[in-house]
Structures are given as C-alpha cells and as structure tokens.
Chains A and B, each alone.
Chain A
Amino acid sequence: MAIRRGRGVAAINYPTGMNLGGDPTQALVHSTPTGNFMVTLSSVDLGQGMKQIMAQICAETIGVPTDRVVVDTADTDTGPHCMGTFASRGTHRAGNAVIQAAREARQVMLEVAAEELEVNASDLETDGQGNILVKGAPQKSISIFDVALSAHFKRGRSISGRGMFLIPRSYPDKETGAMKPSTCYAHACTVAEVEVDDETGEVTVLTVKNVFEIGRALNPKMVEQQLVGGSWMGISHALYETTEPYYPNRDHGGTDFNQYLMPGPGDLAQTEIIVLERPSADGPYGAKGPGEMCANPQIPAVANAVFDAVGVRIDTLPITPERILRALKAQAAN
C-alpha cells in the first residue's frame, strides 16, 4: 500500500453563445448633463462582474475613464431586451451591443464638440481622460463635461446611442447535421498532478496548470477570478459532486452542504493560470466567452492523472474513493 503519483493532460475548446432561437441582446447608452454615461441593459450580473465589464467596454468606446460610466441593469421597464446570461454569451453579445450604442453616442458627442471648436468632427479624437482634442493640435481641446452641458442646454442634442447584436437562428440540417451552433471558440489545455492513496482510494490534486485562450482579457483581474473559480469547480466535478451518488438509484442525495460533497479550501490544488489572447473577429475588442469552458479541462485531466498514478480507469463521474478501490480490487483479481 502506497501513495502513488500521476499526471494527466486534457485539451478542449468551447463555443460562445447559442444558435437555438437566434441570439439577440440590445443596449442603450446616454450621457447625463455633466458628461457621465449611462448604459441601460436587461442583462443579468450573476456575480461574475457583467456590470463592470460593460462599463469598461462603454468607456473604451466613448473615450472616457471607466468611473464616468454607470451600468443600469436589469429592469424590464427600462432595459432593452437581452436573451439572458448563459451559454458564455454575456460579455460577447451584450459587449457588442454596448459598443454599437456607445459608437452612436460618441458620434453625437464629437459633432457637438466640433460645433464648439469650429472644426470637423472627423478631425477630433478623445484622450481617454475625459477630453476631446483636435488631431495634431492637442492644445485645441474641450472637456466632455463641457460638451455634455452644451448638448443639453445650448445645442439641443441627445448624446445617446442604440446598440443591437443578433446572431441569427441556425436550423441544423436533418440528415447531415450541418449547422452554425455558436460563434467564436475559446480554448484550454490543463495538466493535473495527483496523488492517489491505493489503500483508501483518496485522491489529492497537487497542482493544476491551466492554459486558457480567451480572445481578450478585457479586465485581467476579473478574468483571473473567473478562471480560478472555474478550475476549482472542475476539480469538484471530477472528484466530489453529485446529487445522486448511486445514479440511476435516486437514494442518498444530499440536501445540504454537510451531505453534498464539495472540496473545502484545504482540498484545492495549487492552481496556475496562464492566459493567451487571440482576438476573435466578432467579439467585443476580440473577447470570447470563457465562463463555462474554464471548468471543463480539469475533469479529464484529473481522470487521466488517476490512471497514470494507479493504472485503473474510472469512466464514471465523480471519481470517488469507492470507485477507485473497487477498480483496484478488480484489477488485483485479474
């Protein structure tokens, strides 16, 4: 009886969004009298940080700092339609809608600034700090604060924009299955290292090294929180979680966190995250949807590492100590 060590690898891809019924999201953007910007949506922030990301996308597009943007979501009386937050679609679909709305608002803003500065709007650029400058002559400038005041009280303009992003519905071909099931794909490769106690069947995940390709890390700190959380969830799926431990038997289902097994902080592996960015052609600033895929590669990587350690295949999830011990027993009997 011994502690045996093994490692396993897995590589995956994951689609962004869904094609089932058409995949639309809309956004509205408008400025306040003092040049702050409101983004109005009906998209849902599940805790992943949707509001923050939409604020950064709007700010980048209009050319103001992120703290000048407020996101108002999700109220069906005021927010335009969004299919919902699922299928790794939130950032991609709503982000594209926000860019379109913000571009329209930016155009009005530049037109008002052009009137104030007596130049052509096409000769203007933003400095990202809240000012509009004449290209090549940055001493000639106006603040967005003053532009918004002018639009509201002098020029009678609405600095606002409408955004819409729609992936049309794709009907799978009945015979061949030809279809367009999604848009861009995120990628991952994970190497997991485990120790397996061949006396108890217990698995300890020592390290998980994840490489994720996500199109563009719009906010690297938020990318990190989502990818680390996903990596932990993958380990949890591999080794612990189920509502029906003896499926298809319905008995023994957990009803609280004492009975439903998940890893505690002490059970989590040393986790490494490396991010590659190949911008997608259709994503907001190249972003893809990594929210779901980041929890997938750890499961087979751990399963393959368990085999590498003790030479038995557990092809049924979760890979519990009981299943490992039964497989080791069967292996010894052969």
Chain B
Amino acid sequence: MELRKNYFADVRKDDLHEIGQPRPRSDSPGHVTGKTAFFADRSFPGMLHLKMVRSPHHHARIRSIDTSEAEKHPGVVKVLTAKDVPHNVYTILILIQIGPEDETVLADGKVRWKGEAVVAVLAETERAAQEAAAKIKIDYEVLPAVFDMEEALKPGAPLVNEYHGQNYYLYDSGECRKVRFGDVEAGFAGADHILEQSYQSSPIEHAPTETTGCVVAPEGNDRFTCYTNTQAMFFTLDNTSIILQMPGSKLHFVGGTVGGGFGGKVDVIVEPIAILGAKLTGRPVSFVYSREEEMQISSPRAAEKVVIKDGVMKDGRIVARKVTGYTDAGAYSRHSPYGAQKGAGHYPGPYTIPNVWIDTYCVYTNRTPSSAMRGFGVTIGDFALEVQMDKLARLIGMDPLEFRFINAYRDGDMKAHRQPTEGAALIECMQEASRTANWPVAEKFMAMSSYRKGA
C-alpha cells in the first residue's frame, strides 16, 4: 500500500502524534496466539444446548406439532414452540418505527421459507438435542411457493407474508421508494442514444470465521447475561426486551469481540430464544449456528435485479438516467426495506446527471430472508452502474475512463436526492488510477479537480 500525500495536501494536517501512525494493533497478539476470548469460550456448569427444528418446505401450513417423543428423549430438558414466546411476531426495525411486525421467532401455523425455525429443543448435550429434534413430528400442508421477484409481483401470485398483504414492502411513497429529479422523459427525448440494460445477482453468504451464536447465563437475581457476537449490542438487547416482554434492566449483554460480521450479525435471531430457554429452565444455554445454518439459514446478501435506462450524448454527457431496482427480501423484512431505500439514495452513482428517475422495490419471496451485508443496498447497484458505464462508453466510441471524467461529480453539484456534493474525490482517484495502471487519458482530464472555485 502507498499513501499518495501529494493529493489534497492543502487541506490536510500531517503533523499529528498518534493519528496517521502505523501502530501495531494491541489485540493482534491475542488473536494470533488463540488467547482472545470469544463468546463461545464461555462455558458454564449445567449448560444446555439449543437446536432448532426447521421447515423442510418453502411454504406450508402447519396442521399439528407433536413433541411428545422428543420430550421423552434422554437428556432433553425443554421443548419450545410458538406459544412459549411472549411476543412471537416481531420485526427488528420496529425500534425505529419501521413496521409492520411480520416475522415469528418460532413458526405459528405457517412456514414461509425452507429452513424457518419451528421448534427449539434444549438438551444436556448437542447430540441429545439433535437426536430429539429428529423426533419432533410436524404435519404440514404444502402450499404453492413463489421464488421469482417478477412472478411474486404479478396479480394472483401466492401471498408470501400476510402481515404485508402484498408481495412488496409498502413505503409511505407507495410500492417503491422514489427519487425524482429533473425531467427524465425530456432527457431521453433529447439524447443521441438510449441504452436500457438489466442486471441480476444471486444471494451471497457473509462467510465469517465465527458462526452466529450466543451463550446465556442466568445470574440468580432475575437478570440474564448474554455473551454474544452481535454487531449491535443495544439494538439486540432492546429487540430481545420486546420479544420476551422483559424489562431491559433484566438483560445484560456482553460482546464486542467478534470473528467477522460483514453485516451478517445485525439480525436479532439467536439471542431472544436462547434467553427464553435460560429463563424457562433456569440453566445456562448455548445456541450456536452450524456452518450449514450460517450458509443456508442466516440472512444472505439479497439477490437484486437492476434495470438501467440511460440517455447519452455523442460528446459523452449522460443526460438522463432511470433506474428500477428490485431487492429480494425473502419471506421477511429484517433490514431489507432499508436496503432498498439506501439504493434509492445511492443511484445514479457518483455522476452529475440532470434528469434522474429512481424506483426501488423490496419484494417478498419464499426464500431465506435476506438482510444487511457489506455494501448493503449499494454493492450490486455499483456492479450494474459501472458495467452500464462501460457499455455506454463503447456505444459512443469513447474511452471508458475518459467517459467517466466527463460525468464525474464535483463539489457543489446537486445530487438526485437533493444534497449538494461535498468532499468529492472521484476525479483524483481516476487520475491516480490512470497513472498507476498506465491507462492514459487526455491532458484536460488530468488537469481537472473535484474542487470548484468558490464552492
């Protein structure tokens, strides 16, 4: 790595004592010698292990659940179903008034994706819990499922989630989050070329070294300490308080040392049910995802579809951009309504375009609920935008890097969501890329600056 200090030297102080210094990390020796304590290093006498019984169907009605054989299995201490969860229907963003509550801690009457949690088994050993889980008998009536976002949005598609009533998230702006800037149709009408292209991604796993989990210990004073690898301590505590209808003062969360998150540990999944298990048994409880659960049960990055329509001039100016984004939330919201909205705030990318139209949809399907992941709402959009930029440049016979200079945003430029650009540095990144990669561009582009005089 190299720091190029010649850029922006006029606005930067480089004479600090500790900032800018490559100090060794104080936690590195512990990490590399195996001495750092993670949540799973906590073990308590009498600790129970929790295993989930999961739906084998993508969409089904639950006719009946028979736990009697499992309860007799040696080592089993407690079996939990929906009726044991005080506030079973929840949604994590309710903390900031983003509803409706649309997901069950343990399935109640219906499952909406293959892998959904239905019954929790608590036993003396992991093996006993696993064996007992296999003895739970659930009678399902399989229902038609929908996996494709376009199919899900068609009239007459199977309804994924009754709490929404339709297969998309209803924003205050309607069926999608909207951004309207300038007159996009007039922009297309005046353009030399129009290019409309569609881009698609598939779900992606966070693949942290340490799988999602927690260990809960009752403190004997009606308080519960939860050792967890959540990425958000109070967010998890406050949601747990709602789900368990337990005052926050009874909950003590300890964490902060996590073996990789990448956004995969901001859903509140393992903690409430583990704390409930500890409360109902009076024993410590461990609930840790297997690698299979981490890969197929925990929320992945959403699959997205992005349709971009651009109007471009022969001289390289993009005069109109329309983006329609679809985020596949799976069966439940989790963070997806926000992810789709974040995309609306990100398009049309770091370019100054006078006419912009954005619609972003959060769509429900019968698959593993997706949620936040590194680059949430942006990563797949950037893939689509930057491949589109390459296609546009080639369409008008222009060098792809020079084409980006022509459209790059600079200080003071108004963005489509009506914030003025501040602290821009796209042009300087491209200038340095031109030098480093030996990708020459015209001198006038190398003389450009993100600064504007008087801005």
Task: Confirm or deny: A237 has a beta carbon within 8 angstroms of a beta carbon on chain B.
Answer: yes
Are B3 and A220 touching (Cβ within 8 A)?
A: yes
Given contacts A10-B386, A181-B417, A300-B387, contact A276 B4 (CB under 8 A): yes
**Interface 1/0 per residue, B1-40 and A, CB below 8 Å:** 1111101100110001111111111110001000000000
Listed residue (A74, A222, A256) with the most chain B CB atoms within 10 angstroms of its CB = A74
Are A243 and B422 touching (Cβ within 8 A)?
A: no
How far apart are A241's CB and chain B's nearest CB, in angstroms? 5
Are B258 and A44 touching (Cβ within 8 A)?
A: yes
Task: Confirm or deny: B311 has a beta carbon within 8 angstroms of a beta carbon on chain A.
Answer: no
Are A296 and B251 touching (Cβ within 8 A)?
A: no
Are A317 and B202 touching (Cβ within 8 A)?
A: yes
Within 8 A of B (CB), among A165-222: 169, 172, 174-182, 184-185, 187-191, 209, 211-213, 215-222
Task: Confirm or deny: A76 has a beta carbon within 8 angstroms of a beta carbon on chain B.
Answer: yes
Are A316 and B200 touching (Cβ within 8 A)?
A: yes
Are A11 and B25 touching (Cβ within 8 A)?
A: no
Task: Confirm or deny: B296 has a beta carbon within 8 angstroms of a beta carbon on chain A.
Answer: yes
Contact of B429 (CB < 8 Å), options: A213, A253, A301: A213
Task: Confirm or deny: A60 has a beta carbon within 8 angstroms of a beta carbon on chain B.
Answer: yes
Question: Nearest A residue to B409 by beta-carbon distance?
Answer: A13
Given contacts A8-B390, A85-B261, A256-B291, contact A181 B382 (CB under 8 A): no
Given contacts A47-B258, A76-B253, A278-B428, contact A177 B201 (CB under 8 A): no
Task: Confirm or deny: A327 has a beta carbon within 8 angstroms of a beta carbon on chain B.
Answer: no
Are A318 and B19 touching (Cβ within 8 A)?
A: no
CA distance A79 to B93 in the complex (A): 22
Are B378 and A296 touching (Cβ within 8 A)?
A: yes
Within 8 A of B (CB), among A44-95: 44-47, 49, 51-52, 55-57, 59-60, 63, 65-67, 73-77, 79, 81-87
Task: Confirm or deny: A280 has a beta carbon within 8 angstroms of a beta carbon on chain B.
Answer: yes
Are A174 and B172 touching (Cβ within 8 A)?
A: yes
How far apart are A172's CB and chain B's nearest CB, in angstroms? 7
Listed residue (A81, A262, A280, A296) with the most chain B CB atoms within 10 angstroms of its CB = A296
How far apart are B369's CB and chain A's nearest CB, in angstroms? 12
How far apart are B176's CB and chain A's nearest CB, in angstroms? 10
Are B433 and A243 touching (Cβ within 8 A)?
A: no
CB-CB under 8 A from B296, the residues of chain A are 243, 253, 255
Given contacts A250-B114, A276-B432, A292-B375, contact A187 B232 (CB under 8 A): no
Task: Confirm or deny: B244 has a beta carbon within 8 angstroms of a beta carbon on chain A.
Answer: no
CA distance A155 to B386 in the complex (A): 62
Are A291 and B391 touching (Cβ within 8 A)?
A: no
Contact of B19 (CB < 8 Å), options: A52, A60, A242, A300: A60
**Interface 1/0 per residue, A22-46 and B, CB below 8 Å:** 1000000000000000000111111
CB-CB under 8 A from A19, the residues of chain B are 345
Are A245 and B202 touching (Cβ within 8 A)?
A: yes
Are B255 and A60 touching (Cβ within 8 A)?
A: no
Within 8 A of A (CB), among B37-64: 58
Task: Confirm or deny: B109 has a beta carbon within 8 angstroms of a beta carbon on chain A.
Answer: no
CB-CB under 8 A from B31, the residues of chain A are 47
Given contacts A213-B425, A277-B3, contact A84 B19 (CB under 8 A): no
Question: Nearest B residue to A299 by beta-carbon distance?
Answer: B383
How far apart are B2's CB and chain A's nearest CB, in angstroms? 5
CB-CB under 8 A from A175, the residues of chain B are 173, 178, 180
CA distance A301 to B23 in the complex (A): 33
CA distance A190 to B259 in the complex (A): 28
A interface, how many residues as a size bin? Answer: 35 or more
Q: Could you say which of A111-119, A131-139, A142-150, A223-231 contacts chain B? A: A223-231
Question: Nearest B residue to A253 by beta-carbon distance?
Answer: B296
Are B383 and A254 touching (Cβ within 8 A)?
A: no
Are B202 and A244 touching (Cβ within 8 A)?
A: yes
Given contacts A11-B386, A244-B203, contact A220 B1 (CB under 8 A): yes
Are A172 and B173 touching (Cβ within 8 A)?
A: yes
CB-CB under 8 A from A179, the residues of chain B are 345, 417-419
Given contacts A44-B233, A82-B234, A300-B386, contact A317 B291 (CB under 8 A): no
Task: Confirm or deny: B177 has a beta carbon within 8 angstroms of a beta carbon on chain A.
Answer: yes
Question: Nearest A residue to B12 by beta-carbon distance?
Answer: A279
Task: Confirm or deny: A156 has a beta carbon within 8 angstroms of a beta carbon on chain B.
Answer: no
CA distance A76 to B271 in the complex (A): 14
CB-CB under 8 A from A79, the residues of chain B are 233
CA distance A211 to B1 in the complex (A): 10
CA distance A209 to B434 in the complex (A): 10
CA distance A75 to B257 in the complex (A): 11
Given contacts A56-B18, A222-B25, A243-B300, contact A42 B256 (CB under 8 A): yes
Task: Confirm or deny: B408 has a beta carbon within 8 angstroms of a beta carbon on chain A.
Answer: yes
Given contacts A18-B338, A74-B256, contact A82 B23 (CB under 8 A): no
Are B233 and A260 touching (Cβ within 8 A)?
A: no
Number of A-B contacts (CB under 8 A): 416
Given contacts A189-B432, A315-B198, contact A247 B303 (CB under 8 A): yes
Given contacts A276-B428, A315-B199, contact A209 B383 (CB under 8 A): no
CB-CB under 8 A from A63, the residues of chain B are 17
How far apart are B109's CB and chain A's nearest CB, in angstroms? 22
CA distance A8 to B303 in the complex (A): 24
How far apart are B172's CB and chain A's nearest CB, in angstroms? 5
Are B7 and A20 touching (Cβ within 8 A)?
A: no
How far apart are A23's CB and chain B's nearest CB, in angstroms? 10
Task: Confirm or deny: B254 has a beta carbon within 8 angstroms of a beta carbon on chain A.
Answer: yes
CA distance A11 to B383 in the complex (A): 10
CB-CB under 8 A from A303, the residues of chain B are 383, 386-387, 390
Task: Confirm or deny: B355 has a beta carbon within 8 angstroms of a beta carbon on chain A.
Answer: no
**Interface 1/0 per residue, B433-445 and A, CB below 8 Å:** 1001101000000
Are A300 and B390 touching (Cβ within 8 A)?
A: yes
Are B376 and A45 touching (Cβ within 8 A)?
A: no
Are A22 and B231 touching (Cβ within 8 A)?
A: no
CB-CB under 8 A from A83, the residues of chain B are 232, 234-235
How far apart are A317's CB and chain B's nearest CB, in angstroms? 4
Within 8 A of A (CB), among B161-183: 172-174, 177-181
Within 8 A of A (CB), among B356-413: 358, 365, 367-368, 372, 374-376, 378-380, 382-387, 389-391, 400-401, 404, 408-409
Show 10 residue pairs from A and B whose CB-CB distance is below 8 angstroms, ordered by the A residue.
Answer: A44-B256, A66-B21, A66-B23, A172-B344, A181-B346, A211-B430, A212-B429, A219-B20, A272-B436, A277-B3
B: which residues have CB within 8 A of A? 1-5, 7-8, 11-12, 16-27, 31, 58, 93, 95-98, 114, 147-149, 172-174, 177-181, 197-205, 207, 209, 230-235, 237, 251-263, 265-266, 291-292, 295-296, 300, 303, 328, 338, 341-342, 344-346, 349-350, 358, 365, 367-368, 372, 374-376, 378-380, 382-387, 389-391, 400-401, 404, 408-409, 416-419, 422-426, 428-430, 432-433, 436-437, 439, 450
Of all A-B residue pairs in the complex, the 6 with the closest CB atoms, nearest first, are A84-B232, A21-B96, A74-B256, A177-B179, A181-B345, A300-B386
| Other contacts beyond A172-B341, A272-B436: 6, CB < 8 A | A9-B401, A67-B26, A75-B253, A77-B252, A296-B378, A317-B200
